[in-house]
Amino acid sequence: EVLLVESGGDLVQPGGSLRLSCATSGFTFSAYAMSWVRQAPGRGLAWVSSISSGGDATYYADSVKGRFTVSRDNSKNTLYLQMNSLRAEDTALYYCANAGSSVGTSPFDSWGQGALVTVSS
Amino acid sequence: SYVLTQPPSVSVAPGKTATMTCGGDGIEYRSAHWYQQKAGQAPVVVISHDSDRPSGIPERFAGSNSGDTATLTISGVEAGDEADYFCQVWDTETDHWVFGGGTKLTVL
């Protein structure tokens, strides 16, 4: 069974930082591109970032570029999202998802249940 | 940047056919994927690569993509199909994933 479990969500003040983790099991993590998608309360899905299977290529939405950093540890089957300079508009449920062998070629087959990030003073 | 446009809502009676559209400039040249998201749950892919149905998705779900519109069709709609539906494509010009705004399907 494929499992993705996000952690690290919290309440943080504007300008603060947070690191999300996504622990995975049930598939060959190192063979899959991975992505982060967020959903603000009552809103639709918004792609945040993707990373290639080997970690050598990363992609970011314009709204987070320069503030967020995606990374992965294939030895630990874990995906990360380092979020800096957080803003109120970053408040959302953050999902991790796996998506094929190469970024952009396949849909997001499996999703976690999400980690809630709230940016507020 | 590439934009996908979905109608905010679609309503259909049980047993009828629901049609949801996803508009984008030349979307036929991109591979469209569709997700179903029920209340309080993570999204699930119901159609991939325009018209492929993943394992476990009922045959009632079908997809097509032509011109500037990708379409998700659910035939014989059931109460359990009530959910938000999102389309998605990969924009090769910007190397960004793009989601549509989503359509809320209401089963009357």
- Residues in chain A predicted with pLDDT less than 50, given as ranges, are none
**pLDDT tens, residue order, chain B (108 aa):** 999 999 999 999 999 999 999 999 999 999 999 999 999 999 999 999 999 999 999 999 999 999 999 999 999 999 999 999 999 999 999 999 999 999 999 999
Whose CA is closest to A83, among A25, A24, A6, A31? A6
Q: Extract the tokens encoding A98.
A: 């796996």
Residue pairs spanning A and B at CB distance below 8 A: 54
Q: Calculate how close chain B gets to A107, using CA atoms only, in Å.
A: 6
Does A95 touch chain B if contact means CB atoms closer than 8 Å?
yes
Q: What's the CA gap between A103 and A48, in Å, rounded?
A: 13
The closest CB to that of A104, out of B45, B95, B102, belongs to: B95
Q: Calculate how close chain A gets to B66, using CA atoms only, in Å.
A: 19
Count of residues for chain A?
121
SS3 B63: strand
Instruction: Say yes or no for a CB contact (<8 Å) between B102 and A113.
Output: no
Interface of B with A (CB under 8 A): 1, 33, 35, 37, 42-45, 48-49, 54, 84, 86, 88, 90, 92, 95-102
pLDDT of residue B27: 97
pLDDT of residue A99: 87
Assess contact for B31 and A104: CB atoms under 8 A: no
pLDDT of residue A96: 98
Does A59 touch chain B if contact means CB atoms closer than 8 Å?
yes
pLDDT of residue A72: 98
Q: What's the CA gap between A53 and A33, in Å, rounded?
A: 4
Question: Which residues does residue B73 pair with via DSSP β-bridges, in sequence order?
Answer: B19, B62
